């Protein structure tokens, strides 16, 4: 039997002299081979590193696997700053690997979440020996879709992720005399009490003062040059390698996964459909890719094992790193799991070719508050109808129930994915617009957008929208959602405060879904102004939200208009 050799903590120098360290895994009988590289900040010695691709299986397939701790993390030297060293460090790592006698000159990158960050940012620098990559559940922009969304700070995820990163960071700072044992203990206690930390104001006080990047994120609350220089979407034209994008309908980064696919599709190049592929399952971030949730189970075909995702990934690498003629070029490039039907589809294009963009309009007699209100949803345009009104109080925000996020709380339970929304739909500050029960099934696959005509008594406020599948038994399963911070209604780069009482048109990106509303089900749209702690609660003052306290907060009276002049609606991609 061929022996697997693992070389631990191989030193890989960066251009500034910083030494990073990686493990090299290969079969003893292989002299040279293509390399699969993974770079991440989570400790290569203690986690299931390759996840979908088993490193032993990959080496048996004829690859050499390199797994690296990124700069400043665990076994690697240097200072850690999320995102901001990954361009040059990624380039240097790829090119160092290509120079080794065991590499045949071809490197592929693979991995999920931040492992996707290290791929896109390396690729943005065009290392000559990077031949292909498979970014899994990752973003296209580390401002909109990672740290913020629609201008709102993704508080739950940012705090959860920062606490996770902080332990090793503070441990190294203690060694360097820049932090104390008390700082580390404070972080451990805060992480264990995260439900309370979500409520801390000002926002920066929830983290240790040594965690400078968290303060930087709060300071750069617009899409400015700080973010642009590390945003993959700004570099699509520079990237000319094959990419296999993998995402999940309930993943926090699903918007970025889709944008990365479309961005690479629209760039000028000769890779064709084989070099730009997309796969989406009914998965949330870090759920094991099973498609099984407490409130709904998408069946035996929903898991990544059911479709043998490992084989799909290795087959992609075989085609581009080994030049194997495995018929990949004869297959459709888009593969998606459609919920409700609970089956996989293969398609030629995204969005799907036979999409009918259909407006579903809001209706009521001014009492759409709660799920038992008079809010209706239909394809008929409204004529004269009285607007709906609710009071948004940032001291009592609508609680997050699942969704496309990643956060913990509630006795360390994971709060993400398709959860039943009835609890929040009982609140008077949640407007519900619900269709009649469907006579036949309705297939909705693609990007979702909401158009709201609103006014507020405040200089700034948020508007949130959810798309919900209401089952015959009343269960209300959230499919997708979006948010817009009022001041960012026209631009994420140039905020403009609201004039109280003036009516504005808001266009809200609700990301994407792939769902069949079955006969007897109802389509529901929820509208409110908060989703906490997924997003920080807007204080409504028009000031710097990150610096404000509870004493600064003020209530806002918000109105949703739905009439002939201001026809608020949601746009659904109907597949015939």
Helix residue ranges per DSSP H, 221-277 = 225-228, 254-266
CATH superfamily of 355-575: Galactose-binding domain-like (2.60.120.260)
Q: What is the pLDDT, as a whole number, of residue 288?
A: 66
Alpha-carbon distance of 418 to 336, in angstroms, equals: 17
Task: Report the DSSP beta bridge partners of residue 254.
Answer: none
Q: Tens digits of per-residue pLDDT, 330-346?
A: 999 999 999 999 999 99
Q: For 480-500, what is the mean pLDDT? A: 98
Q: Which of 88-102, 185-199, 296-310 has the highest average model confidence (pLDDT)?
A: 88-102
Residue 270's pLDDT band, with cuts at 50, 70 and 90, is low
Per-domain boundaries in the chain? 4-136+239-292+299-338, 148-226, 355-575
Q: What is the pLDDT, as a whole number, of residue 267?
A: 80
- pTM to 2 decimals? 0.96
Helix residue ranges per DSSP H, 26-113 = 55-60, 86-98
Q: For 138-167, what is the mean pLDDT? A: 96
User: Which CA distances in Å does 151 have to 450, 458, 463, 508?
Assistant: 16, 17, 11, 11
Q: For 542-565, what is the mean pLDDT? A: 97
Residue 295's pLDDT band, with cuts at 50, 70 and 90, is very high
Q: What is the pLDDT, as a whole number, of residue 1?
A: 58
Alpha-carbon distance of 223 to 226, in angstroms, equals: 8
- For the cut 80, the answer to whether the pLDDT of residue 327 exceeds it is yes
- For the cut 50, the answer to whether the pLDDT of residue 212 exceeds it is yes
Cβ distance 21 to 9 under 8 Å? yes
User: Which CA distances in Å does 77 have to 12, 14, 68, 166, 537?
Assistant: 10, 10, 12, 16, 38
- For the cut 80, the answer to whether the pLDDT of residue 460 exceeds it is yes
Q: What is the pLDDT, as a whole number, of residue 412?
A: 45
Query: Which residues, including other chains, have CB under 8 Å from residue 526's CB and lie 6 or more apart?
Result: 421, 424, 425, 430, 431, 432, 433, 464, 465, 466, 468
Sign of the four-CA dihedral 264, 269, 273, 274:
negative
Alpha-carbon distance of 388 to 292, in angstroms, equals: 36
Percent of the chain with pLDDT over 70: 97
Alpha-carbon distance of 530 to 466, in angstroms, equals: 11
Cβ distance 459 to 400 under 8 Å? no
Q: What is the pLDDT, as a whole number, of residue 411?
A: 46
- Assign residue 410 a region (left: φ > 0; alpha: ψ between -120 and 50; beta: otherwise): left
Summary mean pLDDT of the chain: 95
Q: What is the pLDDT, as a whole number, of residue 410?
A: 46
Residue 406's pLDDT band, with cuts at 50, 70 and 90, is confident
Q: What is the pLDDT, as a whole number, of residue 2?
A: 74
Q: For 198-216, what is the mean pLDDT? A: 96
Q: What is the pLDDT, as a whole number, of residue 106?
A: 98
Alpha-carbon distance of 137 to 252, in angstroms, equals: 8
Alpha-carbon distance of 391 to 232, in angstroms, equals: 39
Alpha-carbon distance of 433 to 175, in angstroms, equals: 57
Q: What is the pLDDT, as a whole number, of residue 290?
A: 85
Could you please state the CATH topology (level 3) that the domain comprising 4-136+239-292+299-338 is classified under.
Rossmann fold (3.40.50)
- In a 3-state reduction of DSSP, which class is residue 321? helix
The DSSP element (H or E) to which 475 belongs, if any, is none
Q: For 381-388, what is the mean pLDDT? A: 96
Percent of the chain with pLDDT over 90: 91
Vertex 232: Cα angle to 228 and 233 (nearest 5) = 80
Q: For 429-440, what is the mean pLDDT? A: 98
Residue 409's pLDDT band, with cuts at 50, 70 and 90, is low
Query: Which residues, including other chains, have CB under 8 Å from residue 413's CB and lie 6 or more apart?
Result: none
- For the cut 70, the answer to whether the pLDDT of residue 153 exceeds it is yes
Alpha-carbon distance of 82 to 142, in angstroms, equals: 10
Alpha-carbon distance of 275 to 272, in angstroms, equals: 6
- For the cut 70, the answer to whether the pLDDT of residue 197 exceeds it is yes
Q: Tens digits of per-residue pLDDT, 24-64?
A: 999 988 899 999 999 999 999 986 554 688 999 999 999 99
Q: For 179-193, what is the mean pLDDT? A: 94
Sign of the four-CA dihedral 556, 423, 483, 352:
negative
Catalytic residues: 113, 251, 285
Cβ distance 235 to 124 under 8 Å? yes
């Amino acid at each position: 039997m061929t022996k697997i050799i693992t070389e631990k903590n191989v030193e890989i120098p960066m251009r500034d002299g910083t030494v990073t360290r990686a493990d090299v895994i290969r079969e003893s009988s292989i002299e040279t081979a293509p390399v699969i590289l993974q770079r991440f900040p989570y400790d290569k010695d203690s986690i299931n590193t390759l996840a979908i691709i088993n490193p032993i299986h990959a080496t048996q397939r004829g690859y050499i696997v390199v797994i690296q701790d990124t700069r400043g993390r665990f076994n690697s030297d240097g200072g850690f700053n999320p995102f901001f060293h990954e361009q040059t460090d990624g380039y240097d790592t790829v090119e160092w690997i290509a120079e080794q006698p065991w590499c045949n000159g071809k490197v592929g990158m693979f991995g999920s979440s931040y492992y996707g960050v290290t791929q896109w940012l390396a690729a943005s620098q065009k290392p000559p020996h990077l031949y292909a990559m498979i970014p899994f559940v990752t973003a296209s922009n580390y401002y909109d879709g990672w740290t913020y969304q629609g201008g709102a700070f993704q508080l739950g995820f940012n705090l959860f992720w920062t606490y996770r990163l902080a332990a090793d960071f503070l441990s190294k700072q203690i060694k360097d005399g820049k932090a104390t044992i008390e700082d580390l203990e404070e972080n451990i206690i805060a992480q264990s009490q995260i439900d309370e930390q979500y409520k801390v104001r000002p926002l920066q006080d929830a983290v240790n003062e040594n965690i400078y990047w968290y303060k930087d994120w709060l300071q750069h609350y617009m899409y400015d040059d700080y973010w642009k220089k590390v945003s993959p979407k700004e570099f699509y034209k520079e990237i000319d390698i094959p990419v296999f994008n993998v995402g999940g309908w309930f993943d926090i980064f699903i918007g970025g996964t889709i944008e990365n696919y479309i961005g690479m599709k629209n760039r000028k190049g000769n890779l064709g459909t084989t070099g730009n592929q997309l796969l989406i399952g009914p998965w949330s971030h870090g759920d094991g890719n099973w498609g099984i949730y407490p409130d709904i189970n998408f069946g035996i075909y929903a898991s990544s094992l059911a479709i043998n995702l490992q084989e799909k990934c290795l087959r992609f690498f075989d085609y581009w790193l080994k030049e194997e003629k495995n018929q990949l070029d004869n297959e459709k490039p888009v593969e998606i799991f459609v919920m409700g039907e609970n089956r996989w589809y293969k398609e030629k294009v995204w969005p799907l070719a036979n999409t009918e963009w259909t407006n579903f309009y809001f209706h009521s007699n001014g009492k759409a508050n709660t799920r038992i209100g008079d809010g209706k949803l239909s394809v008929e345009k409204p004529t004269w109808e009285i607007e709906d009104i609710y009071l948004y109080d940032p001291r009592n925000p609508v609680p997050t129930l699942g969704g496309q996020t990643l956060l913990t709380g509630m006795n360390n339970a994971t709060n993400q994915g398709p959860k039943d929304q009835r609890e929040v739909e009982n609140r008077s500050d949640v407007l519900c617009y619900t269709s009649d029960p469907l006579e036949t099934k309705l297939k909705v696959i693609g990007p979702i957008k909401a158009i709201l005509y609103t006014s507020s008594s405040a200089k700034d406020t948020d508007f949130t929208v959810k798309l919900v599948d209401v089952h015959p038994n009343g269960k209300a399963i959230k499919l997708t959602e979006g948010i817009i911070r009022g001041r960012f209604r026209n631009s994420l780069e140039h905020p403009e405060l609201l004039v109280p009482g003036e009516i504005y048109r808001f266009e809200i990106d609700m990301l994407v879904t792939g769902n069949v509303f079955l006969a007897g089900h109802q389509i529901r749209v929820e509208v409110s102004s908060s989703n906490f702690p997924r997003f920080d609660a807007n204080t409504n003052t028009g000031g710097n939200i990150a610096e404000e306290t509870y004493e600064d907060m003020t209530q806002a009276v918000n109105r949703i208009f739905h009439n002939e002049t201001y026809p608020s609606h949601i746009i659904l991609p109907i597949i015939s």
